Amino acid sequence: MPKLEVKNLRKLFGTFEAVKDVSFQVEEKETLCLLGPSGCGKTTTLRIIAGLEAPTSGEVFVDGVRVNDIPPQKRQIGLVFQDYAIFPHLSVFENIAYGLRVRKTPGAQLKTKVHDAASLIGVDRILDVPGKKLGLSEMQRVAIGRSIVLDPKLLLLDEPLSNIDAKARERMRAELGRLQKEIGIATVYVTHDQLEALTLADRIAVMRNGLIEQIGTTGNIYDNARTLFVARFIGSPTMNLIDCELTRSGKQVILKSEDLVVDITELAEAITGKVEGRELILGIRPEDISLNIKKTNPRAIEAEVQLVEPIGAKSIYHLMIGRIAVLAKDYPMPDVNVGSRVWSTFNADKLHVFDKKTEEAIL
């Protein structure tokens, strides 16, 4: 039985439909990330699960129990807000104990539960420190501790890293990942940051305009985008997307744009029956384009380098293939600079093809 089941969730604010027929499940110890841009419905979905918003229609089940009519404080759900909401005048101990005191938990039991939670989240040595003296990482841990001390069946995290700078976010993302594995509670994590989702989630639900466009493991979402939106939203640098059409040249089957020809003869059986007469978009991720200063592959395409961005072990190459701008991510080539001519090879096994009209994946 899943820890959380959301069925056909819908939410209207007046005539605006913020959430449209959203359904998903979260299993024991799993982290599901609701990922999408601002206004896509992810936080509204989270608030409905928590009981802070009432759905217009649809159902929410926690541990098999329908919770639509159960008030938030009785749903056994932990919620960590974007700003952590730590009481600055209270110690770490009292911050974690706050919910237990509201529930009138007996003193000895309260003390044991707070110390157990503090040890689990790594703040047991700072229990006497007031909230106003905590660093961001410590506040994050205390906020989570305040939730897990109540023995929730489900943990909800609402963009907990969005208000901090990039360097601190990188460190805290790693800490949060470790903490999630240690706690082992089924978690729904809301974010607009794809790197957070790819790093922390077991599965990702990509949302747009109140709908889930695709749900799956991080690898599946990245490698097999079902729509143009998912292809654009996931990946940094973003996927190259090129308008094209399917044509034939003898026994060859090719995708052709105004200045680019890509041989897909090997893939013809999987695609040709689906695309006759349609406008298409060819997709290829930058890391799936390999570069060479010589033409070592008969399918290599000549390109001119417009810009080179060193990013450590690899570099991002801004290329022009005729009038088409393309990004490639490959190992540094010392003799390649702006204006250099290089040969680019598209990995045929990593090609994506989308229907331009429906924006759905064909390949």
Residue 132 counted as domain residue = yes
Name the percent of the chain lying above pLDDT 90.
65
CATH number, domain with residue 220? 3.40.50.300
Mean pLDDT of the chain: 90
Whether residue 217 is found in the same domain as residue 320: no
Domain boundary residue, one of 190, 217, 233: 233
Q: Is residue 362 part of a domain?
A: no
**Same structural domain for residues 225 and 265?**
no
Flag whether 39 is in a domain. yes
Q: Are residues 227 and 244 in the same domain?
A: no
Compute the distance between CA of residue 24 and CA of residue 281 in angstroms, rounded to an integer.
29
pLDDT for 165: 67
User: Is residue 223's pLDDT more than 70?
Assistant: yes
Per-residue pLDDT tens for 318-328? 999 999 999 99
How many structural domains comprise the chain? 2
List the one residue out of 182, 91, 196, 84 whose CA is nearest residue 137: 84
Angle at 240 between CA 43 and CA 345, to 5 degrees: 145
Of the pLDDT bands very low, low, confident and very high (cuts 50, 70, 90), residue 164 is low
Residue 267 lies in a domain: yes
On whether residue 360 sits in a domain, the answer given is: no
Q: Is the pLDDT of residue 167 over 80?
A: no
Which of these three, 210, 233, 256, is where a domain ends? 233
Q: What's the confidence (pLDDT) of residue 23?
A: 98
> Which pLDDT belongs to residue 83?
76
Dihedrals φ, ψ of 146, to 5°? -65, -30
Task: Look up the CATH number of the domain holding residue 315.
Answer: 2.40.50.140
Question: What is the arithmetic mean of pLDDT over 22-40?
Answer: 95
Q: How many angstroms separate the CA atoms of 169 and 157, rounded? A: 15
Q: What is the mean pLDDT of residues 262-271?
A: 76
pLDDT score of 275 more than 70: no
Core vs surface per residue 302-311: b (16+ CB within 10 A) or e = ebebeeeeee
**What pLDDT is recorded for position 13?**
96
Residue 177, in any domain of the structure = yes
**Both structure tokens of 26:** 């979260």
Percent of the chain at pLDDT exceeding 70: 96
Q: For the segment 103-157, what is each residue's pLDDT rounded down to a tens digit?
A: 899 989 999 999 998 988 888 899 999 999 998 888 888 988 888 888 899 999 8
Residue 98 lies in a domain: yes
Average pLDDT (24-48) is 95
Q: Which of 233, 267, 293 is the last residue of a domain?
A: 233
Question: Greater confidence, 260 or 320?
Answer: 320
> Is a pLDDT exceeding 70 seen at residue 359?
yes
Whether residues 63 and 180 fall in one domain: yes
Residue span of the structural domain in which 337 resides: 240-355
My answer on whether 228 and 251 are in the same domain is: no
> Helix, strand, or coil here: 143?
helix
Indicate whether 199 and 296 sit together in one domain.
Answer: no
Instruction: Give yes or no: residues 222 and 245 share one domain.
Output: no
Q: Which residues of 214-238 are buried (b: 16+ CB within 10 A; e: fewer)?
A: bbbebeebbeebbbbbbbebbbeee
pTM above 0.85, yes or no: yes
- Residues 62, 175, single domain; the answer is yes
Highest mean pLDDT pick, 60-64, 135-139, 243-247, 248-252: 60-64
Asked if residue 163 and residue 146 are part of one domain, the reply reads yes
- Cα atoms in the Cβ-side hemisphere of radius 13 Å centred on 287: 9
Asked if residue 363 is part of any domain, the answer here is no
Judge if 59 and 193 occupy the same domain: yes
Residues 257 and 227 in one domain: no
Instruction: Read off the pLDDT of each residue in 70-88 and give the average, rounded to a whole number.
Output: 88
Q: Are residues 202 and 286 in the same domain?
A: no
